Amino acid sequence: MLLTDVVRALELTVADTALLVISGVIIALFGVTILFSVYAVALRYRHEQRDRLWADLRARWEGPLLDAIADPAAIPTVQSLVDEEHRLYFVNFVLEFSRRMRGGELAVLRTVVAPFLEEIGRRASHPNSQVRTRAMQTLGTLGLPAYEKHVLAGLDDPSPLVSFVAARYLARAEFPQYGRAVLDSVSRFDGANFRFLASMLASIGPTISPELRARLADSERPEWERAVIAEALMMQREPRAGDVAAEVLGQTEDRELSIRLLRLLGTVGRREHLEAIRARSTTDDVFVRAQALSAMGRLGDERDLPVLIAGMDDDSPWVALHAARGIREAGGRGVLFELAQTELGYAALAGQVLYEEPEP
Amino acid sequence: MSEGVWRLVEVFNYLVLVYFVLLHTIYLGTSLFAFGALKRYALRLKSLDLGGLITSSSAPPITLLAPAYNEEATVVESVRSLLTLEYPEYEILVVNDGSKDDTLGRLQQAFNLQEAHRVPTAELVSAEIRGVYRSRRHPHLWVIDKENGGKADALNAGLNHCQTPTFCAMDADSLVEPEALIRIVRPFMEDASTIAAGGVLRIANGCVVSQGRVVDVRMPKSFIAQLQVLEYLRAFLCGRMGWDALDSTLVISGAFGIFKRSIVVEAGGYSTDTVGEDMELVVRLHRHCREREIPYRIHFVPDPVAWTECPESVRVLGRQRERWQRGLYQSLMRHRVMLFNKKYGRAGLIAYPYFFFLEMLGPLIELLGYVSFTVTVLAGRADWPFVVAFLSVAVILGGALSLSAVALEELSFRRYPRVSDLIRLFGLALAENFGYRQLNAWWRLQGTIAAIRGKEGWGKMTRKGFATASPPEAT
């Protein structure tokens, strides 16, 4: 409206009007970019100030903190060096330090930082999800079990990132009491990578294994969740998971779950599970077939070699590769050596697998 | 000239003005999105425990594919940098693409290579393999020696020998930071639908390199290289970060990007008949997934860094930019079905049109605009408000936008710690608009014309090698 009035009052032509509009946009763009530049200079100034402060604080705290780790009697000394306004800096300093510490040393750090965590506890319910995430990380590393209520509440946070970080810090062997809560929260992370989730569950330690086995057997649970659990059991090398894996393998048609079960059986299975595995060695799915041959190799013996040798001629290079590795695992190095000397199409594959280091 | 022709010139001048305004508005828009995204990312980084990720078993195994063609000056240093990466499980596959220099010999000598078997796991078309080698000293280092076929062909050969679920495409002449791999792989761990992620390229010229690592970040001495530092900051921190915030990443640099192997093989691997195989692959992945209704995400991650040597001569730089533009043209024309096609989501509705009209056709409009503006001024037919508006938008605004890239760098990573570097970057932001920008537009126009004419090939790119702080590892 204002522009129309201006155009009418000044009796501007179309070209002048266009120029006026464009000039307005240019001035606006210019203004924003100038703000950016001023912001850059201000940021540089602020960063340099903060870096100087950090360097001073580090120099003040590092020696006494190392003394406290060596002798816990020195804990009050290091705590007395923390001013009111630098409490958060101190928590961040200890958090950074804690990444290099384990066991008793970490326990000392938790004691040192305990009086300063109250503010972090308040930040666990901050409106900004990134601040809450950081609070979960800090409390999860330095504040358990005192702040367990805050971190456990983080599992139900509306932000997936906050709940994810909370779960990662609760999933630790030193705090087995939180294992079940973490396991219950897994259904929230259905978009995450299998391996990532499985690794998190495995890190809870052996106390969670019976619950993992029970949930793997529970056909009411989503198949992707059971696949994650199977992978976690494989990472834990849980020896009692073989029976339930073989049983579930006989019931499921789900591709991902079948693959994870076969990987699990290949790691912890026994010879009596071979029948369930063999049944999958002729399936149409390339990756299920490959895992089946791999598991057969690990559990089988010379009697399984003909199937594995035939697998080396499979149309899929993945099946052939797993079959060849299976032969090696089944004690067929001699067979591979002989195959490598032939003119057969898979002679090179035999040579490659002989040369490889066996998987751990 | 008749009045009618002048009228046309005047209209064209205004169209050019509109083009510049539109271009800068989009630049500023992506910068603002990038600003928000980088602020969030900076906070996110604080809650990342990289050490924990490196030692956990959750990171997917990765194969690094590093094609090398006539890289004898830098290849050993680059491979050494790859060997120092902090990542739980990875293999390095250097593909010697029929180098005419001593690339293979240098590798053999430095890493004690011996012949080995490695059977292909895919059948992407590539030139003949001459030999496969494995390092005695570093068992996860492999070298594939093949006939020359170009970078895409070399990547396909590497992909055919890749045995891990993800692979990282890179240049054999770039230096990847030790934590870069664990940083760039994070989207794959957090989101199972991730199929690709790109990292940041920074200019290594002038930096001090020791044992394959950049140990002291410095601005290059060469003015041409300094200008490229600013360009890279703008391209990655303003451009790619902004497009990522809009979930419309169309480009992942061929020098440092990570991909899900199965989907790339399924989509046919790298295209060997374009010089912009990196962009073409990403655009094709968008198409592939959208057309098959495969859920997918393509990310840009701003903190994993690969350092690369940039051209310091105008001639080599011109060839590089001409080639980049040809690659852009070939990628966009091949997938023009995506233009304003809602089937392809934001990539088709926002990013593709931007690249098509402003990046591909932009140089032509820009250069014609300079000519037309000059003619108008010389003929005395330009009124001063138009002259001021044109110069503001064509020169000053461009500089101001470059300043915003410097601001984003300050906000996020601050890799150039010296105050003198900041001042120099400010100066460059203004200086680049007087000649360099126009030269760039000229090279890009040449690239578009060459692509229309069907020119192929990469052109010669010479490397000086990195400035090392210590003698190379004894062989």
Tell me: the pLDDT tens digits for B352-364?
999 999 999 989 9
Q: Convert the pLDDT of each residue in B114-140 to its tens digit.
A: 988 888 989 999 999 999 999 988 989
Question: Is it the case that residue B466 has pLDDT exceeding 70?
Answer: no
Interface of A with B in 200-239 (CB under 8 A): 200, 202-203, 235
CA triplet B217, B220, B226: central angle to 5 degrees? 115
Q: Residue A326 corresponds to which tokens in the numbers above? A: 């299976």
pLDDT digits (tens, 9 = 90+) for B205-221: 999 988 778 889 999 99
Q: Find out whether A211 and A229 touch, Cβ atoms under 8 Å.
A: no
Q: How many CB atoms are closer than 10 A to CB A288?
A: 21
Q: List Cβ neighbours of A13 (8 Å cut-off, separation of 6 or more).
A: none
Please tell me the predicted confidence (pLDDT) of residue A7.
Answer: 67
Q: Residue B215: left if φ>0, alpha if ψ -120 to 50, beta else—which one? A: alpha
- Give the separation between CA A274 and CA A280, rounded to whole angstroms: 10
pLDDT of residue A3: 64
Contact by Cβ (8 Å): A188, B50: no
Query: Which amino acid is present at A214?
Result: A
Partner A contacted by B54 (CB < 8 A): no
Q: Do B58 and A200 make contact, defined as CB atoms within 8 angstroms?
A: yes
In the 8-state DSSP scheme, what is residue B239? I
Q: Which of A91-105, A171-185, A229-243, A306-320 has the lowest mean pLDDT?
A: A91-105
Alpha-carbon distance of B258 to B243, in angstroms, equals 17
Residue with more model confidence, B456 or B222: B222
Give the per-residue pLDDT at B305: 93
B386 touches chain A (CB under 8 A): yes
Q: A-contacting residues of B 417-456, CB under 8 Å?
A: 419, 422, 426
- Kindly report the backbone phi and psi dihedral angles of residue B307, in degrees, each rounded to the nearest multiple of 5, phi listed first: -95, 135
pLDDT band at B78 (very low <50, low <70, confident <90, very high): confident
Q: Give the span between the Cα atoms of B184 and B200, in whole angstroms.
A: 10
Contact list, A44 vs chain B (CB under 8 Å):
410, 419, 422
Q: How high is the pLDDT of residue B228?
A: 95
Question: B436-457 in b/e burial notation, b at 16+ Cβ within 10 A?
Answer: bbbebbbbbbbbbbbbeeeeee
Contact call for residues B198 and B301 (beta carbons, < 8 A): yes
pLDDT at A355: 78
Q: Give the dihedral of Cα atoms A77, A82, A88, A92; nearest 10 deg.
A: -50
The confidence band for B471, taking pLDDT boundaries of 50, 70 and 90, is very low
Confirm or reject contact between B24 and chain A (CB < 8 A): yes
Asked if the model's pLDDT at residue B469 lies above 50, the reply is no
Which one of B46, B402, B413 makes the best mutation probe of the A interface by having the most chain A beta carbons within 10 Å?
Answer: B46
Q: Scanning every residue of chain A, which has its alpha carbon at the shortest distance from the alpha carbon of B399?
A: A33
State residue A343's pLDDT score. Answer: 84
Buried b / exposed e across B72-103, counting CB within 10 Å, b at 16+? bbbbbbbbbbbbebebbebbbbbbbbbbeeeb
**Residues A310-343: b if buried by 16+ CB within 10 A, e if exposed:** ebbebebbbbbbbbbbbbbbbebeebbeebbeee
Which of B48, B114, B119, B299 to mutate against chain A (most A CBs within 10 Å)? B119
Identify the bridge partners of residue B96 per DSSP, sorted by sequence position. Answer: B68, B145
Check if B411 contacts A (Cβ < 8 Å): yes
Concatenated DSSP letters of B247-281: T------TTEEEEEHHHHHHTTS--TT-S-HHHHH
The CA distances from residue B319 to B322, B323, B356, B439, B443, in Å, are 5, 6, 21, 12, 8
Residue type, B200: V
Is a pLDDT exceeding 80 seen at residue B233? yes
The confidence band for A344, taking pLDDT boundaries of 50, 70 and 90, is: confident
Instruction: Give the per-residue pLDDT at B39.
Output: 81
Q: How far is CA B137 from CA A360, B83, B164, in A?
A: 20, 11, 21
A23–B385 C-beta distance less than 8 A = yes
Give the residue among B247, B257, B248 at the shortest CA–CA distance from B281. Answer: B257
CA dihedral B62, B64, B65, B69 (to 10 degrees): 180
> What is the pLDDT of chain B when averaged over all its residues?
88
* Cα separation, B459 vs B471, whole angstroms: 31
- Residue B109 and residue B103: Cα distance in Å, rounded? 10
CA dist., res. A37 & res. B407, Å (int): 6
- The burial class, CB within 10 Å (0-12 / 13-18 / 19+), for B40 is middle
| A358: closest CA of chain B, how far (Å) | 13
Q: Residues with Cβ < 8 Å from A82, sequence gap 6 or more?
A: A61, A90, A116
Residue B311 confidence class, pLDDT cut points 50, 70, 90: very high
**Single-letter code of the amino acid located at B457:** G
Average pLDDT value for chain A: 89
Pairing of strands B62-68, B166-170: parallel
CA-wise closest residue to B198 among B212, B190, B188: B188
* A165–B contact, CB cutoff 8 A: yes
B140 CB-contact burial (10 Å; exposed 0-12 / middle 13-18 / buried 19+)? middle
**What Cα–Cα distance (Å) separates residue B20 from each residue in A29, B247, B325, B357?**
11, 24, 19, 12
Number of CB atoms found within 10 A of residue A167's CB: 27
- A193 in B contact zone (CB under 8 Å): yes
Residues A37, B404: C-beta atoms closer than 8 Å? yes
**Token couple for B229:** 């530092």
**Order of strands across the sheet that contains B62-68:** B113-115, B129-135, B141-146, B90-97, B62-68, B166-170, B256-260, B194-203, B297-308, B175-176
Question: Would you state the pLDDT for residue A135?
Answer: 93
Q: Which among B258, B440, B245 is positioned nearest to B350, based on CA atoms?
A: B245
Distance from C-alpha of A305 to C-alpha of A332, rounded to nearest angstrom: 7
pLDDT of residue B52: 67
Residue at B376: amino acid letter: T
Q: How does pLDDT run across A322-341, given as a tens digit for each residue?
A: 999 999 888 888 888 899 88
Per residue in B140-167, pLDDT (tens digit) is 999 999 999 999 999 999 999 999 999 9
Give yes or no for residue A152 having a pLDDT over 80: yes
Q: What is the pLDDT of residues A165-195, one digit of tens each?
A: 899 999 988 899 999 999 999 988 887 888 8
DSSP sequence for B6-34: HHHHHHHHHHHHHHHHHHHHHHHHHHHHH
Q: For chain A, say whether B193 makes contact (Cβ under 8 Å).
A: yes
| pLDDT band per the 50, 70, 90 thresholds, residue B474 | very low
Helices (H) and strands (E) in chain A, counts: 21, 0
- Band of the pLDDT at B409, cuts 50, 70, 90? confident
B458 — pLDDT class (breaks 50, 70, 90): low
Least confident of A28-37, B273-282, B346-355: A28-37
B473/A246: higher pLDDT: A246
pLDDT surpassing 80 at residue B83: yes
Q: What percent of chain B has pLDDT over 90?
A: 52
Query: What is the pLDDT at residue B26?
Result: 87
* pLDDT tens-digit map of A113-150: 999 999 999 999 999 888 898 899 999 999 999 999 99
* Band of pLDDT at residue A75, cut at 50, 70 and 90: very high
Predicted confidence (pLDDT) per residue in B9-61, tens digit: 888 888 888 888 888 888 888 888 888 888 888 777 776 666 666 666 678 89
Contact in structure between A157 and A131 (CB atoms under 8 Å):
no
Percentage of the residues of chain A whose pLDDT score is greater than 90: 59
Residue A133: its chain B contacts at CB < 8 A?
Answer: 43-44, 47
Q: How far apart are CA B367 and CA B301, in angstroms?
A: 34
